[in-house]
Structure 1
Amino acid sequence: MKGLMQPTQLSISYLFDRAEKYHREKEIITATATGRERITYGEWADRTRRLGGVLDTLGISHLGRVATFAWNTARHLELYFAAPCSGRVLHTLNIRLFPEQITYIVNHAEDEVIFIDTSIYPLIEPLLSTFTTVKHLVFMYDGKGEVPASVPGFQVHEYEALLAAAAPVQWAAVDENQAASMCYTSGTTGNPKGVVYSHRSTYLHTMGAMMADSLGVSESDVILPVVPMFHANSWGLAHAGVASGATLVMPGPDLSGPAIANLIVEEKVTVPAGVPTIWMAVLPELKGRDTSNIRAIPCGGSAVPKALSEAYRAQTGKPILQAWGMTETSPIAAVCTLSSADRLLSEEEQAELRTTVGLISFGVEMRVVEPGTTTPLPWDGESQGELQCAGSWIASDYYNDPRSRESFTEDGWLRTGDVAVVDSKGRIRLVDRTKDLIKSGGEWISSVDVENELMSHPKIAEAAVIGVPHPKWSERPLACVVIKPGETLSKEEVLEHLAPRLAKWQMPDDVVFIPEVPKTSVGKFSKKTLRDQFADHVLPTS
């Protein structure tokens, strides 16, 4: 016997239709170099349909790749929907990748058109001659820079002129398994890998982001996605915001602490979302201001220091909501929402639980396995292994990449590269990235654990811990510390702070003071850069 339900295709156009039909008066606000621009969902929907007509006029093929090189703006949101809803594939280009990586992903994806914010055109202009498939460049004036009159080898267009000349189109019916968008990983070794999302996976991930025990996105929210739209679907907030009719506040190019704090306060933001480095810069700018509208502060990309989360709880009344995922998981795969039983615990115990990434999200499965196997380890809070995932919005392969099989098990699960332990309640605690664990003698040292203790020091702004060669122990920890402005700190003070908090074998053998921790293209600590920088560092214990 089969069920007698309608076989509706799960398409991104349904998310768009919800906003167009039921939330026409709600707003999308964009911070620009010349002020804030406001547009209603009704106006945005008309522009997005016209953009679908533009793609037809430009001759972009069915399933043709539509690239964007842009900040978080209402225009970028138009592209987020016009490309997949018209039967094309959105390809967000990470503006912070190395030049040779941008060339690689543009050519590998076979992009046909690139939509470019004028303020960042200088970043991509030197690379244009290396692109082999791009025919059109569409410039979006964003208050800085200029639209070039011509670019040799390309057809040049201005975004608003194209829209003004276009007519709104009806969306094409699509198969739910058709490609909707693609995003390349920001890997620190080798070329980035392409992850291709389907209409179905995006629809289901959007529902996941709207669940109460996830991010709980709803119509009453005012969402500020500080996380870039070129990074892992802006954590699904762009799709969920549109689908629910939430007000969206797009930060544009200025992601400084003061600018983000002003948006949070002045636009009465309920859900600001960004990486830890963003929240470190924003916290002092919120001091003494009205943050009563905030209901959750999602944070991901790297481990959230307990001290940072508790500082937000003390100042705003809301601790940071730690979430975990990656480009390959769309990205939301776990969110640390405390259970009803957890909320009965002491504040200190709750704070400790918030250092985990919580339960795996509804719709996703996880297992922690012995390295090199698919044998699950016990949920005892101690057994460390590789975290693997499977589910409806988890990648099954990389786009046209012979390296794919390295990242997937024989039974089809994604190998995340994260080392984790799981407690008896199923809560996941990330120990480290596989490549960032420090092998010292017969023990593995978690750089994340040491970093969290370093970050609890009141004079430390940032800290990263790496392994450096040691003649006896293979590797030993080196603490790379950034001192807060106006403060002084010695190596001895740092080690004294750590001594009662870590086992002796976990203690760094040395401390170096650096002006800042280098970051990857998506704002994570670049430990590879630090390992290269201190490859020849001689430890005092050597």
Structure 2
Amino acid sequence: MPPPVLPGLIMDKPLMISSIIEHAARYHTDTEIVARTIDGGLHRYTYGQAHARMRQLAHAITRLGMRMGDRVGALAWNTHHQFEMFYGVSGTGAVLHTVNPRLHLEQIVYIINHAEDRLLFIDAMTLPIVEKIASQLSTVEAFVMMDHRATMPASTTLPKPLLCYEELLAAEAPDYVWPEFDERSASTICYTSGTTGNPKGVVYSHRSAMLVAMMFGPLVGLRSENGDLPVLMPMAPMFHGNAWQFPYLAPMHGAKLVLPGRNYEPDKLYELLEGERVTLTCGVPTFWLIILDWLQRNGKRFSTLRYSLSSGSAVPRSLMATLDRDYGVEILQAWGMTEALGGSSVLMAPSAEPRSFDERVDARMSSGRAACGVRYRLVDDDGHELPQDGKTVGHFRVQAPWVSSAYFKNEGGSALDEDGWLKTGDLATIAPDGRIQLTDRSKDVIKSGGEWISSIELENVAVGHPEVLQAAVIAVAHPKWQERPLLVAVRKPGSTLTPHALIDFMRGKVADWWLPDDVAFVEAMPMTGTGKVHKLTLRQQFAGHVLPGVQRNA
């Protein structure tokens, strides 16, 4: 018989999301939350005031019949109303489903029906979307407009009741007692963007949300040289991986939280970053490429912003170096995905802290380093494990207590390989000291004559040209080499850059046989709802592209 287990003598208290806002309301009562409203104004209140409203919201959805495990949808932008739902819904045991308004209407319908949302919370900007699709939403029993009665629409075409958010809250007392339940219960659902099929639901738990927020905790301790207190503003929308946990991270550590609303124009983001003295933000590199171009054209600088967490796609070295050298902003690059928030640490090991500027930038070009609690693996095409020597490229696999084990209703098949590791879809190297270097997405890698060419590396070099705003590399058929790289680029306004000049700029920065065979300039890139270049659309757009020197009928 096995020896008896000696239990630890520790209180058995579950990890509850509601405990975060209770902590903030008690010990950071007067710390400010600032949110851009849908009409462009600013709403200011405190954690103490937010907590009271969240408890009113919890009473309200309970009165509307929401029970443990019921899904409540939010088709909305980053406002204080949606922030309140992260606690007022999830804290009751119901599940908050954040829906991306940028998706195609068919995908929005699919996502809401697939999640079986019983209530759908909307705002003034998403009401027109819902009016177009309401008749197709089979599970929604009522709509809630996140607004005051005075600014509610006089009439709508919605076939079911349109309730007023502020009226619902006003009818309730702020005395809701947050229940305790199994910490593994679902808290929120975020759907992937569905670039290769139907969107897939990633279901986070109270436990996973708490663990990831705790893991991100050291970021809040990062302060500038003059000791500015941390002020957090997620540029990532809340429908994108819970805005990278910022709605939990800020109140957990008592930091001021700034929410950008719906307007992601560079001047509006800059106005908030400067006006509210933001020190830490997060967002995909696309945001920063656009903001940097605006900063350069308008001669603007940052006075308090010091760090930006980046993930989702590789940060071009030129972008990282320019923001650091000219604007004092360090990009902290991490590996992560909807299925695996907090996939790597963005902080360098103290013993490896580089001394020179170029060394510091080079070190931050990795996708973070191994984080405690996450296990990593590289495998070849046949599933055999590969060495983590910093050179060998393999399919990247991860395991962690906060990594997805499956997709909601098993849409899209298993998320795990046969050994129980998450299939990330990334190709990577892992150095002996834990630095992770993504080399490509498995579906984006170019295999020319049996050898891999990294689209990420080519894109980074191309964006380094001062007249290139965005760049994407895709594979195009070749009669001899099977595939060759085509560079698709967006020029900055006023540029007359030619394909020949751009390829010449790249020469010497990568192996000659990696150089693109051609360059196609476009007015704008097709983008996914999460701010990434939609390469599937580019591949379809350039499916018949004939490379120079190739016979059309070859």
Partner Cα distance (1:488, 1:47) in 2:
54
Aligned to 1:440: 448
Aligned to 1:74: 80
**1:137 equivalenced with 2:134 (yes/no):** no
TM-score (norm 1): 0.95
Aligned to 2:353: 343
Q: What letter corresponds to residue 87 of structure 2 in structure 1?
A: F
Q: What letter corresponds to residue 253 of structure 2 in structure 1?
A: S
Deviation (angstroms), 1:224 = 0.8
Q: How does 1:55-94 map to 2 (within 5 A)?
A: 55-94=61-100
SS of 1:522's equivalent in the other structure is: coil
SS of 1:333's equivalent in the other structure is: coil
SS of 2:216's equivalent in the other structure is: helix
Alignment counterpart, residue 121 of structure 1, candidates 118, 127, 130: 127
Partner Cα distance (1:213, 1:118) in 2:
33
**Would the alpha carbon gap of residues 225 and 499 (structure 1) be closer, same or farther in structure 2, given more than 3 Å must change?**
same
Aligned to 1:383: 392
Deviation (angstroms), 1:378 = 1.3
Deviation (angstroms), 1:212 = 5.1
Aligned to 1:303: 314
Partner Cα distance (2:326, 2:149) in 1:
34
Per-residue CA shift, 1:10-34, capped at 9, x if unaligned? 1111111111111110111011334
Partner Cα distance (1:354, 1:434) in 2:
23
**Would the alpha carbon gap of residues 148 and 179 (structure 1) be closer, same or farther in structure 2, given more than 3 Å must change?**
farther
Q: What letter corresponds to residue 418 of structure 1 in structure 2?
A: D
Structure 2 unaligned regions, length at least 5 = 1-5
Deviation (angstroms), 1:361 = 2.2
Deviation (angstroms), 1:402 = 5.0
Aligned to 1:10: 15
Deviation (angstroms), 1:214 = 9.8
Q: What letter corresponds to residue 191 of structure 1 in structure 2?
A: N
**1:366 equivalenced with 2:392 (yes/no):** no
Bigger Cα displacement from structure 2, 331-340 vs 49-58: 331-340
> Is residue 231–residue 280 contact of structure 2 (8 Å, CA) maintained in 1?
yes
Q: How does 1:172-251 map to 2 (within 5 A)?
A: 172-211=179-218, 220-251=229-260
Per-residue CA shift, 1:452-505, capped at 9, x if unaligned? 010111111111110011111111100011111122211111111111111122
Partner Cα distance (1:360, 1:145) in 2:
49
Partner Cα distance (1:431, 1:144) in 2:
53
Alignment counterpart, residue 258 of structure 1, candidates 258, 267, 274: 267
Q: Percent identity?
A: 41
SS of 1:400's equivalent in the other structure is: helix
Partner Cα distance (1:19, 1:136) in 2:
32
Per-residue CA shift, 1:135-183, capped at 9, x if unaligned? 0100123999853545553122011111111222111222111111111
Partner Cα distance (1:435, 1:360) in 2:
24
Q: How does 1:252-331 map to 2 (within 5 A)?
A: 252-286=261-295, 289=300, 291-329=302-340, 331=341
Aligned residues: 539
Q: What letter corresponds to residue 516 of structure 2 in structure 1?
A: P
SS of 1:356's equivalent in the other structure is: coil
Bigger Cα displacement from structure 2, 182-191 vs 333-342: 333-342
Bigger Cα displacement from structure 2, 164-173 vs 248-257: 164-173
Q: What letter corresponds to residue 546 of structure 2 in structure 1?
A: V
**Would the alpha carbon gap of residues 259 and 175 (structure 1) be closer, same or farther in structure 2, given more than 3 Å must change?**
same
Deviation (angstroms), 1:52 = 0.4
> Is residue 228–residue 304 contact of structure 2 (8 Å, CA) maintained in 1?
no
Deviation (angstroms), 1:289 = 4.7
Partner Cα distance (1:59, 1:215) in 2:
43
Alignment counterpart, residue 24 of structure 1, candidates 21, 29, 34: 29
Per-residue CA shift, 1:120-142, capped at 9, x if unaligned? 21122211111111001001239
Partner Cα distance (1:440, 1:242) in 2:
50
**Would the alpha carbon gap of residues 372 and 109 (structure 1) be closer, same or farther in structure 2, given more than 3 Å must change?**
farther
**Would the alpha carbon gap of residues 121 and 145 (structure 1) be closer, same or farther in structure 2, given more than 3 Å must change?**
farther
Alignment counterpart, residue 97 of structure 1, candidates 98, 103, 108: 103
SS of 1:335's equivalent in the other structure is: coil
Partner Cα distance (1:174, 1:389) in 2:
28
Bigger Cα displacement from structure 2, 209-218 vs 148-157: 209-218
Aligned to 2:3: none
> Is residue 261–residue 285 contact of structure 1 (8 Å, CA) maintained in 2?
no
> Is residue 447–residue 466 contact of structure 1 (8 Å, CA) maintained in 2?
yes
SS of 2:281's equivalent in the other structure is: strand
Structure 1 unaligned regions, length at least 5 = none
Alignment counterpart, residue 451 of structure 1, candidates 451, 459, 463: 459
Deviation (angstroms), 1:245 = 1.6
Bigger Cα displacement from structure 2, 148-157 vs 432-441: 148-157
In angstroms, what is the RMSD of aligned CA positions?
A: 2.1
**Would the alpha carbon gap of residues 31 and 96 (structure 1) be closer, same or farther in structure 2, given more than 3 Å must change?**
same
**Would the alpha carbon gap of residues 485 and 289 (structure 1) be closer, same or farther in structure 2, given more than 3 Å must change?**
closer
SS of 1:444's equivalent in the other structure is: strand
**1:163 equivalenced with 2:169 (yes/no):** yes
Partner Cα distance (1:216, 1:143) in 2:
42
Q: What letter corresponds to residue 348 of structure 2 in structure 1?
A: L
Deviation (angstroms), 1:267 = 0.8
SS of 1:352's equivalent in the other structure is: helix
SS of 1:118's equivalent in the other structure is: coil
**Would the alpha carbon gap of residues 364 and 119 (structure 1) be closer, same or farther in structure 2, given more than 3 Å must change?**
same
Q: What letter corresponds to residue 206 of structure 1 in structure 2?
A: A
SS of 1:205's equivalent in the other structure is: helix
SS of 1:189's equivalent in the other structure is: coil
> Is residue 225–residue 273 contact of structure 1 (8 Å, CA) maintained in 2?
yes
Bigger Cα displacement from structure 2, 364-373 vs 335-344: 335-344
Q: What letter corresponds to residue 272 of structure 2 in structure 1?
A: L
Deviation (angstroms), 1:319 = 2.5
Deviation (angstroms), 1:260 = 0.8
Partner Cα distance (2:242, 2:412) in 1:
23
Aligned to 1:539: 547
Aligned to 1:411: 419
Q: How does 1:484-523 map to 2 (within 5 A)?
A: 484-523=492-531
Deviation (angstroms), 1:220 = 3.5
Q: Displaced runs of 4+ in structure 1, greater than 4 A?
A: 142-146, 212-219, 284-290
> Is residue 222–residue 246 contact of structure 1 (8 Å, CA) maintained in 2?
yes
> Is residue 149–residue 164 contact of structure 2 (8 Å, CA) maintained in 1?
no
Q: What letter corresponds to residue 158 of structure 1 in structure 2?
A: C
**1:352 equivalenced with 2:369 (yes/no):** no
Q: What letter corresponds to residue 235 of structure 2 in structure 1?
A: V
Partner Cα distance (1:273, 1:367) in 2:
27
**1:42 equivalenced with 2:52 (yes/no):** no
Q: What letter corresponds to residue 430 of structure 1 in structure 2?
A: L
> Is residue 219–residue 247 contact of structure 1 (8 Å, CA) maintained in 2?
no
